[in-house]
């Protein structure tokens, strides 16, 4: 059984709240502490590694994943702008870190990742992606992704005339 890649697969930089403005419409990894959540609305507020508060939409996640998360999590998500101008993250995946995680140490690592002296070691630029459609009726499609051709997904569904595959 094969698994299709999504635009979120790949290299995504770890960030804190101070980096979000540089990653609008990009996928990021956000190590954080869950402060508050509303499971009915599919929203939560988290404390990023640098202490800043970020709103996170969990509406695209399986309810069981949201229910079984630990106190400290790492969110893979896309940065987007709310209608009133604040930046938020649309969660695509949550990874449990533990009930006891050192966010200060994570913030030190994030500082190294974004330090220009180490730009050849880390990927501080992230993956670009098309703007988010927050309607459940219109999920994002790989067909319109600028990365589809780069990672060989632009020809999915086509049959090779010579091999029949």
- Report the mean per-residue pLDDT for the chain: 80
What total number of domains does the chain contain?
Answer: 1
Task: Give the CATH number, domain containing residue 89.
Answer: 2.40.50.140
Q: Is 59 inside any structural domain? A: yes
Let me know if residue 124 belongs to a domain.
no
Per residue in 147-159, pLDDT tens? 444 444 444 445 5
The pTM for the full model equals: 0.71
Residue 119 pLDDT: 80
Query: Would 46 be classed as within a structural domain?
Result: yes
Assigned domain for 108 exists: yes
What are φ and ψ of residue 94, in 5° steps?
A: -120, 130
Residue 146 lies in a domain: no
H or E element in which residue 74 lies: strand 72-81
Within a domain: residue 25? yes
Per-residue pLDDT band at 143 (split at 50, 70, 90): very low
Domain that holds residue 56: 17-116
Give CA separation, 66 vs 16, 73, 142, in Å: 21, 11, 25
* pLDDT at res. 134: 55
Q: Read off the pLDDT of residues 35-91 as tens digits, 9 standing for 90 and up.
A: 999 988 899 999 999 999 999 999 999 888 888 899 999 999 999 999 888 999 999
Q: pLDDT by residue (tens digit) across 127-138?
A: 555 555 555 554
Per the model's pLDDT, the better-predicted residue between 132 and 29 turns out to be 29
Instruction: For residues 128 and 31, give the distance between their C-alpha atoms in angstroms, rounded to a whole number.
Output: 20
Is 165 part of any domain? no
Q: Is 97 inside any structural domain? A: yes
pLDDT, mean of residues 106-134: 77
Task: Tell me the percentage of the chain whose pLDDT exceeds 70.
Answer: 68
What DSSP string describes the chain? ------TTSS---B--GGGGGGGBTEEEEEEEEEEEEETTTTEEEEEETTS-EEEEE-TTS-HHHHHT--SEEEEEEEEEE-TTS-EEEEEEEEEEEESS--HHHHHHHHHHHT-GGGTTTS-TT-EE-PPP---TTS---GGG-TTTTTTT-TTTT---TTT--
The confidence score (pLDDT) of residue 145 equals 45
Q: Cα–Cα distance between 123 and 24 in angstroms, integer?
A: 16
Q: What is the pLDDT, as a whole number, of residue 11? A: 76
- Helix, coil or strand: residue 88: strand
């Amino acid at each position: 059984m094969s698994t299709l890649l999504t635009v979120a697969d790949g290299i995504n930089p770890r960030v804190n709240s101070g980096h979000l403005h540089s990653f609008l419409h990009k996928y990021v990894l956000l190590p954080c502490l869950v402060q508050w959540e509303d499971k009915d609305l599919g929203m939560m507020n988290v404390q990023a590694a640098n202490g800043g508060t970020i709103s996170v939409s969990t509406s695209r996640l399986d309810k069981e994943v949201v229910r079984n998360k630990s106190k400290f999590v790492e969110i893979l998500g896309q940065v987007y702008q709310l209608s009133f101008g604040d930046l938020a993250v649309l969660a695509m995946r949550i990874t449990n870190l533990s009930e006891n995680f050192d966010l200060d140490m994570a913030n030190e690592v994030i500082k190294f990742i974004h330090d220009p002296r180490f730009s050849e070691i880390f990927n501080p630029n992230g993956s670009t992606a098309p703007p988010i459609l927050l309607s459940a009726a219109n999920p994002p499609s790989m067909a319109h992704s600028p990365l589809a051709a780069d990672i060989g997904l632009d020809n999915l569904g086509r049959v090779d005339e010579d091999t029949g595959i």
